[in-house]
Amino acid sequence: MKNWWWIRHGPTHAKCMVGWADIAADLSDKSMLIKLDEYLPRQAKVISSDLSRAAETASAIENGRVRLDNEFDLREFNFGDWDGKNWQEISNNYPKLSEEYWTQPGDIQPPNGESWNQSSKRINTCVDKINERVKCKNIIAVAHFGVILTQIQRAMRISAVEVLANKIDNFSVTKISHNVDGWSVKEINKIL
């Protein structure tokens, strides 16, 4: 069995859609970083998205664990033209499309961005390659809200609409395991 310890990066305090925009994380909560370090397995390999908010969070909890190269394909969803815009602005400019994007996730995509299905395929393919390539029992993966939701969706075999009901807080832990029978969720959004 291989355990994936998914950590959502530290907060950015952005009040807008943040996908591929490279915004730094606020890592000033040192007590939270210590709790994460103590909770996570010592014998693990650490990987993250290549976006600085995830990579910096991974570095802050690495603490002697083996660090793997950052992965482009563990990035958050690509929100295209919506990236960096607040929800009201998006709703005003794309009322029908923005509503459908959240209420009917699947093939609907923002202008110049990815749909849920496109993002999920990119992320699942990346995770499968890492899962096959990296020989260890525990992988600590620091990533993003959408990335973690795609992995919960796959493990629970539920729809995108159903998985969107889950909350994934900054610095939370979501543990998903993989064995010969496939993926299974052990915990979601654990706050230490």
CA angle 126, 18, 150 (to 5 degrees): 35
Determine the pLDDT at residue 179. Answer: 95
Amino acid 107 reads D
pTM: 0.96
43-63 confidence digits (pLDDT tens): 999 999 999 999 999 999 999
User: What pLDDT score does 52 carry?
Assistant: 98
CATH superfamily, domain at 2-179: Phosphoglycerate mutase-like (3.40.50.1240)
**187: which strand partners?**
175
Buried-exposed string 155-185: b where 16+ CB fall within 10 A, e elsewhere: bbeeebeebbebebebbbbbbbbbeeeebeb
CB neighbours of residue 22 within 10 Å: 11
What's the pLDDT at 159?
96
Question: Which tokens is 53 given?
Answer: 């908010």
Q: Tell me what pLDDT residue 48 has.
A: 98
Tens of pLDDT along 121-136? 999 999 999 999 999 9
Q: How is the beta sheet containing 66-67 ordered, strand by strand?
A: 66-67, 45-48, 138-143, 2-8, 173-179, 182-190
Q: In which residue ranges of the chain is pLDDT below 50?
A: none
Residue 28 to residue 37: CA distance in whole angstroms: 15
Position 49 scores a pLDDT of 98
